[in-house]
Amino acid sequence: MVDFDEHIARALIARHAAREGPLLPILHDLQAEFGWIPEEAVRLVAHVLNLSRAEVHGVVSFYHDFRDAPEPRPVLKLCRAESCQARGADALAVHAEAVAGDRIAIETVYCLGLCSVGPNALTGRDHLHARLDAGAIDALVAAL
């Protein structure tokens, strides 16, 4: 999780504000940047897009990808898209859940852009892990 920064949030919102259907791309960028979507960000998005805060909240709470509170645990994001799935990502996810217990949040993402070297995972904002196997998951979980 990163502390909320209004200047960064405004820049992320401005990146998509003029496009058609800007709300989801904006929320994805805010989620990626801060690890959750703080109330201040909801207020900004609503203001810029001329929506009510309730409308923005509704979208945030509808999609599992978006958090309205920070995840207190370390997060391991496992890719479950096609290429990684073909390389055993589903079994790896079951293993990761078992090893992580309640101490680490295991989340699913769909493609990290490293398809040829999967199964892959992401920790932190941009720490990519490739060619994962059960042993590598054990080491990652231990390190988080």
Q: Which of 1, 17, 59, 81 binds ligand FES (CB under 6 A)?
A: 81
Q: Is 27:37 a contact under the CB 8 Å cutoff? A: yes
Residue 132: CB atoms within 10 A of its CB come to 24
What DSSP designation does 121 have? E
**Closer residue to ligand FES (CB): 46 or 81:** 81
Please report whether residue 112 would count as binding ligand FES according to CB under 6 A.
yes
Q: Which of 30, 45, 93, 114 binds ligand FES (CB under 6 A)?
A: 114
User: How far is Cα of residue 98 from the mean position of the Cα atoms in its chain?
Assistant: 21
Please report whether residue 83 would count as binding ligand FES according to CB under 6 A.
yes
Q: What is the Cα–Cα distance from 144 to 134, expressed in whole angstroms?
A: 15
**Closer residue to ligand FES (CB): 99 or 111:** 111
Q: What is the Cα–Cα distance from 17 to 126, expressed in whole angstroms?
A: 25
Please report whether residue 120 would count as binding ligand FES according to CB under 6 A.
yes
Burial class (CB in 10 A: 0-12, 13-18, 19+), 64: exposed
Q: Is 137:118 a contact under the CB 8 Å cutoff? A: no
Please report whether residue 84 would count as binding ligand FES according to CB under 6 A.
yes
Q: Which stretch binds ligand FES (CB under 6 A): 19-27, 35-43, 92-100, 108-116?
A: 108-116
Q: Which of 79, 93, 96, 122 binds ligand FES (CB under 6 A)?
A: 79
Q: Which of 8, 111, 136, 144 binds ligand FES (CB under 6 A)?
A: 111
Interface residue list for ligand FES (CB under 6 A): 79, 81-84, 111-115, 118, 120
